[in-house]
Amino acid sequence: MPLLLIGFKGFSQQTTAQYQYQKDEDFQKAEFPGGEDAFRKEFLNMAYAYVDMALYAIKGEVAFIFNIDPKGKIDKVDILPRFKNSEAFIDDMKYAAKKVKGKWKAATKNGVPVDYKLIMKIRFDNNTYDHD
């Protein structure tokens, strides 16, 4: 099963995204309506609307790892590095991810839907995060 990692730079100081794709002609990456930047923006909007960031003592960069299953749904969310209350934070972020409107088109390998890993980095400062 191929593992694909994509990195986003989601900072107000740097608005360009960095992507890494598997170099395989038979591999088709997962797609979100409007692209990865549209997902990032919608996810951050939902996180801001539904998660009380004051509950978490987060400062610095956090990498979100989303697993998009063969049905095009986000079935797992993880973060690095771990911190105090990270399990509760992950649960809150899963809830925010479920609130995102739009469905992923599953990644395929040789025409067969496969799992897809999406990595999005967000910088948190003073219990807030930088976003557009």
The pLDDT profile of the chain, 132 residues, written as one tens digit per residue, is: 454 444 443 333 333 344 445 556 789 999 999 999 999 999 999 998 988 877 887 888 999 999 999 999 999 999 999 888 889 999 999 999 999 998 999 999 999 999 999 999 988 775 455 554
Instruction: State the pLDDT at residue 48.
Output: 86
Amino acid identity of residue 122, one-letter, is I
In terms of Cα–Cα distance, which of 90, 37, 33, 88 is closest to 67? Answer: 90
- Residue type (1 letter), 55: L
pLDDT (0 to 100) of residue 14: 36
| Structure confidence at residue 9 (pLDDT) | 39
- The HSE-up count of residue 36 (CA atoms within 13 Å, CB side) is 23
Distances in whole angstroms, Cα of residue 28 to Cα of each of 75, 84, 111, 115, 116: 19, 37, 8, 11, 10
Q: What does the block give as tokens for 2?
A: 């191929």
- For the entire predicted model, the pTM comes to 0.74
What count of other Cβ atoms lies within 10 Å of the Cβ of residue 21?
Answer: 10
| Alpha carbons 35 and 13: distance in angstroms, whole number | 21
pLDDT given at position 126: 57
Q: Which of 68, 17, 67, 20 lies closest to 40, judged by CA?
A: 17
Cα–Cα distance for residue pair 10/61, rounded to 1 Å: 10
pLDDT at 22: 54
Domain boundaries, the chain: 27-129
